[in-house]
Amino acid sequence: MAQTTVVALLHGPDQPGLVARVSGWIFERGGNILHADQHRDMEAGVFFQRVEWVSASGADMDAVNAETSAFAEFAAGLGMKARLATSARRPRVAVLVSKFDHCFHDLALRWQAGEFAGELVGVLSNHPDLAEAAAHYGLPYELVPVSAATKADAEARQLAVLRGWGADLAVMARYMQVLSADFLGTWAKPVINIHHSFLPAFAGGKPYHQAHARGVKLIGATAHYATAVLDDGPIIYQDVARVTHRHGVDDMIRMGRDLEKLVLAKAVRLHLDNRVLAYGNKTVVFD
Amino acid sequence: MAQTTVVALLHGPDQPGLVARVSGWIFERGGNILHADQHRDMEAGVFFQRVEWVSASGADMDAVNAETSAFAEFAAGLGMKARLATSARRPRVAVLVSKFDHCFHDLALRWQAGEFAGELVGVLSNHPDLAEAAAHYGLPYELVPVSAATKADAEARQLAVLRGWGADLAVMARYMQVLSADFLGTWAKPVINIHHSFLPAFAGGKPYHQAHARGVKLIGATAHYATAVLDDGPIIYQDVARVTHRHGVDDMIRMGRDLEKLVLAKAVRLHLDNRVLAYGNKTVVFD
Amino acid sequence: MAQTTVVALLHGPDQPGLVARVSGWIFERGGNILHADQHRDMEAGVFFQRVEWVSASGADMDAVNAETSAFAEFAAGLGMKARLATSARRPRVAVLVSKFDHCFHDLALRWQAGEFAGELVGVLSNHPDLAEAAAHYGLPYELVPVSAATKADAEARQLAVLRGWGADLAVMARYMQVLSADFLGTWAKPVINIHHSFLPAFAGGKPYHQAHARGVKLIGATAHYATAVLDDGPIIYQDVARVTHRHGVDDMIRMGRDLEKLVLAKAVRLHLDNRVLAYGNKTVVFD
Amino acid sequence: MAQTTVVALLHGPDQPGLVARVSGWIFERGGNILHADQHRDMEAGVFFQRVEWVSASGADMDAVNAETSAFAEFAAGLGMKARLATSARRPRVAVLVSKFDHCFHDLALRWQAGEFAGELVGVLSNHPDLAEAAAHYGLPYELVPVSAATKADAEARQLAVLRGWGADLAVMARYMQVLSADFLGTWAKPVINIHHSFLPAFAGGKPYHQAHARGVKLIGATAHYATAVLDDGPIIYQDVARVTHRHGVDDMIRMGRDLEKLVLAKAVRLHLDNRVLAYGNKTVVFD
């Protein structure tokens, strides 16, 4: 019989017995816990948990849905917010691009290789450049040009496209436009961005130029959830690479492509595996 | 009221409900779980768990001891082996050295800085060289020379010294003698060794010379539990550093000192935090 | 006027004045040295140098060729072997593949992005699987099946294909056949292989399985020149990634793909930039 | 016969033939170049070189001094500034500390182990805490308390102490006072500082608290030359370590100690090996 696994991401005020109660609830319903991981933010008094279990309901999706609803209610009774996902539904991912193609190819090839627990469903761009590449991967391509004058209209069209694709996640793969606070609020689903610096250093434009001018010995990349404040959202993953005085801005751009690809792919993977819980301006990553 | 925390390291045949049963047992006795982490070796069908909780018994050590005994019995009833430790008893660590002092200084300074959940209790050496350094840190120093002819006698004396110190763990901080299978069997407590290569590459003597001769581009260090087979015990931690054609054997030895210090200290720290569970020839490290 | 740059890779018995003589020779002919780097192997008494200069001959290729010939003669007079390359001729690279496509896509995308100082000219495979991918990049695809019985014939065909493409370098991008000593001797040009372990650990087949069985805490990848002895040629570049007890063989294979891509691409890039000088079983990499 | 090696660090306007002229000058005087490395800042049109040679003057220090003077004159004739050092004179290093002892122990142990091409000559502190540790290493300890009111007087005393020791380099080993622009100007010799963040992120006070508040996934340390602008001087070396949501500020402080030790020691080593050339707000590090 086919298995269905459920993942719950919980957080709320800490109190004794949460681990026992959650695992007890699952055990009583015949669930078998595959992984359970917790974290306490001692200062804030917040408890976080990721728990993944095999549901006793097998492939009976009505039963599985009833179980996740019941779990959410149970968690609410403990004062906790719960986000639930099941293996029966693969999240749908839209990719936003401009002209740079390295992150896009990287995401598409990983998707084809089966590295992601989700489906790429479309490519949204403000430029026509990557249309052919998208077609090669069998992905629909929507061109929505953006200018200062047309920004509001463009964002309305972008929203319609994302909703039309039934997207659960938008990934900015070196998409060179800022998404407005209005857009993010209306969309109300996660957006992952890759910034080509080790944030909070070198936020804003031309971070490799900034890094070169400052003479740093490491360059970085940061994947974070986009928020209304530019380059300021909760950080999911970061990495760095060593540079020397010999590396000009062009070398940094080239080396940075590898960093950007790896860091963005790792963040998308973690998100799709339901391992990331954002709270305030930070993340808990159950890796 | 003073708190006592308990850590249990469990492993045994996997079966449904283990997470719920263990956390339920603790919850019923008023314990508050601080951390719980599990692992399943799917191939071997083995379940591993590290669970740490605040005992309801507070500073009443008789009650705490009764609780740990009861837990061990409970775990045995589930078919699992349990290793239990409490914050009330700090493990006692003996350090074995020869002439190299870098790992010894590093361990002693970290101990003084409060980085270890344990106490250094003595230094055992086959050479007199580090006696003064040990005295500086206020540590007893026992000199037990070892030669091929006197090895059996020397090991008997070493055992007596370790037992006299009430040591729970022996750390070979670049100790240049092999401990015999007899010694390890009689001692029957963990021994952590640092080998100056990325095992299994370059086991045996002069690993930096071997690495230089082979022309590798990374050198490594490996901390592992000592077993009767040289350089073959369960690996706890490893790290590497980049080298080039410019690095001769002497440079590798110098750079390797930093690797050896960091890798050994990390392994000792993980062990003293009761985060390492060895099984077969491998380790589960609940980091 | 168009510039031509020349790179010379020299090695031979060390003697005083080599740096001055080489730079003097270039200066006298109006050349402008862009980079010069040296290394002495003190034990072996060997001097190595990479020197790159702008030739005074500009785009006059007859003059440039006369200059490189004269330089080779000059170097020979100093008892040194010289390998010379000019920016006027981009090396031609053949890629050997089997069924795995990740290293191939990575090389092809980097080539398209202009990251290599050379041209991909064809794909040679013992399986038909990647034919379409090669076509997508506009690369000819030659299928030469290999079996134990047909190995000699197959290698003869492979040689003919490589020569037909005018290839200067063959890159084994997870090509799953061993090239025979005969093939390597007849081909007599460099072959770069990627091995999916941190050599010399886990040479031979199924290195991730070996790594998993041993319980190492880091996995690696090694790019090296292929020689008649399997997995034993001069190492160009290596890197590692951290793994834990949670990573099964499948996870290692997935994580290893990123290591393999990055390590192979870096080695190919270094080679095409004329930065790698192999001698004996080691390399000098002027990075 | 004893050897004397000379290192010259040069920089000035780029022009053709510099490599040939410098190496020719040395060759004509019977010098044997051990290492020569160059860099061109193409934008700024500046040429940088580090060249190290065995002087033909052997242990005759008058002759060696004449040679270095002549070289400086020769370099000036080429429009270049030259900094010259010989193996005959080991630089003298003063260490500035406050209460943290980890960087101090690390520097002192490396000095004892012979890792530095220089001598520790004294410890200067605004607190008495490390006096005994300094005595243990046989180092003089000067206590100069600093308060806002006494800062000018204190700096005058500090200068007198440093000069009394004949110090060539001051190392701020987690010294918790800012050195004034006046002090730096009067002292007019290099000062290396370790800042416990990945600059330019988290300059100023309490960088680990800042890092924790921002939720970064890597913490860093930066060794730089101190200038009149706090945490803004030319960066010599940086490194990072991975952190997760589990690491509180205390964990970051503990992990940061290792970063600070390694990064500061590396920077001091590079400086004492005459491998660092600061210009503008950046460094060229001939590693």
SS (H, E, C) chain B: CCCCEEEEEEEEECCCCHHHHHHHHHHHCCCEEEEEEEEEECCCCEEEEEEEEECCCCCCHHHHHHHHHHHHHHHHHCCCEEEEEECCCCCEEEEEECCCCHHHHHHHHHHHCCCCCCEEEEEEECCCCCHHHHHHCCCCEEECCCCCCCHHHHHHHHHHHHHHCCCCEEEECCCCCCCCHHHHHHHCCCEEEEECCCCCCCCCCCHHHHHHHHCCCEEEEEEEECCCCCCCCCEEEEEEEECCCCCCHHHHHHHHHHHHHHHHHHHHHHHHCCCEEEECCEEEECC
Interface test with D, best of B245, B253, B254, B264 (most D CBs within 10 A): B254
d(CA B80, CA B274): 17
C284 interfacial to chain D (CB closer than 8 Å): no
Cβ–Cβ gap B285/C244 under 8 Å? yes
User: What pLDDT, in 10s, does the model give residues D250-272?
Assistant: 999 999 999 999 999 999 999 99
Q: Please list every residue in chain A whose beta carbon sits closer than 8 Å to the beta carbon of residue B52.
A: none
Cβ–Cβ gap B20/A34 under 8 Å? no
| Marked catalytic residue, from B41, B182, B231, B250 | B231
User: What pLDDT, in 10s, does the model give residues A176-189?
Assistant: 999 999 999 999 99
Chains with 3 or more CB pairs closer than 8 angstroms to D?
A: A, B, C
pLDDT value at residue C248: 95
pLDDT value at residue B141: 98
pTM: 0.97
Closest-approach residue (CA) in chain A for B54: A16
CA within 13 Å, CB half, A64: 21
User: What pLDDT, in 10s, does the model give residues D60-103?
Assistant: 999 999 999 999 999 999 999 999 999 999 999 999 999 999 99
C142-163: average pLDDT: 96
pLDDT value at residue A44: 87
Q: List the single residue in A215, A234, A239 with the smallest CB-CB distance to D235.
A: A215
Query: Taking 90 as the threshold, does the pLDDT of residue A124 lie above it?
Result: yes
Closest-approach residue (CA) in chain C for A255: C115
B199 interfacial to chain C (CB closer than 8 Å): yes
Q: Are A12 and A22 in contact (CB under 8 A)?
A: no
B161-178: average pLDDT: 97
Q: Are D258 and D281 in contact (CB under 8 A)?
A: no
Nearest-10 crossing angle of helices A207-214, A249-272: 120
* Portion 218-237 of A in contact with D at CB < 8 A: 218, 220, 234-237
- Average pLDDT of chain C is 96
D42 interfacial to chain C (CB closer than 8 Å): no
Closest-approach residue (CA) in chain B for C38: B246
Q: List the single residue in D19, D32, D35 with the smallest CB-CB distance to C23.
A: D19
Share of chain C above pLDDT 70, in %: 100
**Å between C244 CA and nearest CA of chain B:** 7
pLDDT value at residue A1: 56
pLDDT value at residue D1: 56
- Under DSSP, the state recorded for A81 is E
Structural domains in chain B, CATH included, are 5-86 (3.30.70.260), 92-285 (3.40.50.170)
User: What is the torsional sign of CA C118, C121, C125, C127?
Assistant: positive
Q: Please list every residue in chain C whose beta carbon sits closer than 8 Å to the beta carbon of residue D26.
A: 20
Cβ–Cβ gap D285/A244 under 8 Å? yes
A14 interfacial to chain C (CB closer than 8 Å): no
- How far does CA C143 lie from the centroid of its chain? 23
Closest-approach residue (CA) in chain A for C100: A113
Q: Which phi and psi angles does C243 have, rounded to 5°?
A: -125, 165
Q: Are A219 and A211 in contact (CB under 8 A)?
A: yes
A182-209: average pLDDT: 96
Cβ–Cβ gap C115/A258 under 8 Å? no
Q: Are C116 and C92 in contact (CB under 8 A)?
A: no
Q: Please list every residue in chain A whose beta carbon sits closer than 8 Å to the beta carbon of residue D218.
A: 198, 220, 238-240
D206 interfacial to chain C (CB closer than 8 Å): no
Closest-approach residue (CA) in chain A for B34: A40
Residue B1 confidence class, pLDDT cut points 50, 70, 90: low
pLDDT value at residue C1: 56
pLDDT value at residue D130: 98
Chains with 3 or more CB pairs closer than 8 angstroms to C?
A: A, B, D
pLDDT value at residue C273: 97
**Å between D51 CA and nearest CA of chain B:** 16
pLDDT value at residue B56: 94
Query: Taking 60 as the threshold, does the pLDDT of residue A14 lie above it?
Result: yes
Amino acid at A91: P
C264 interfacial to chain B (CB closer than 8 Å): no
Q: Please list every residue in chain C whose beta carbon sits closer than 8 Å to the beta carbon of residue D16.
A: 27, 32
Query: Taking 90 as the threshold, does the pLDDT of residue A235 lie above it?
Result: yes
User: What pLDDT, in 10s, does the model give residues C18-65?
Assistant: 999 999 999 999 999 999 999 998 888 999 999 999 999 999 999 999
Closest-approach residue (CA) in chain D for A201: D201
Cβ–Cβ gap D105/B109 under 8 Å? yes
| Marked catalytic residue, from A60, A182, A231, A258 | A231
A136 interfacial to chain C (CB closer than 8 Å): yes
pLDDT value at residue A95: 98
User: What is the torsional sign of CA D128, D130, D134, D136?
Assistant: positive
When computed from its CA atoms, the radius of gyration of chain C, rounded to whole angstroms, is 20
Q: List the single residue in A113, A136, A262 with the smallest CB-CB distance to C102.
A: A113
Cβ–Cβ gap A254/C136 under 8 Å? no
Whole-complex ipTM: 0.95
Query: Taking 60 as the threshold, does the pLDDT of residue A283 lie above it?
Result: yes
pLDDT value at residue D98: 98
Nearest to D169 by CA among D221, D115, D251, D225: D225
Q: Please list every residue in chain B whose beta carbon sits closer than 8 Å to the beta carbon of residue A34.
A: 40
Cβ–Cβ gap B102/D113 under 8 Å? yes
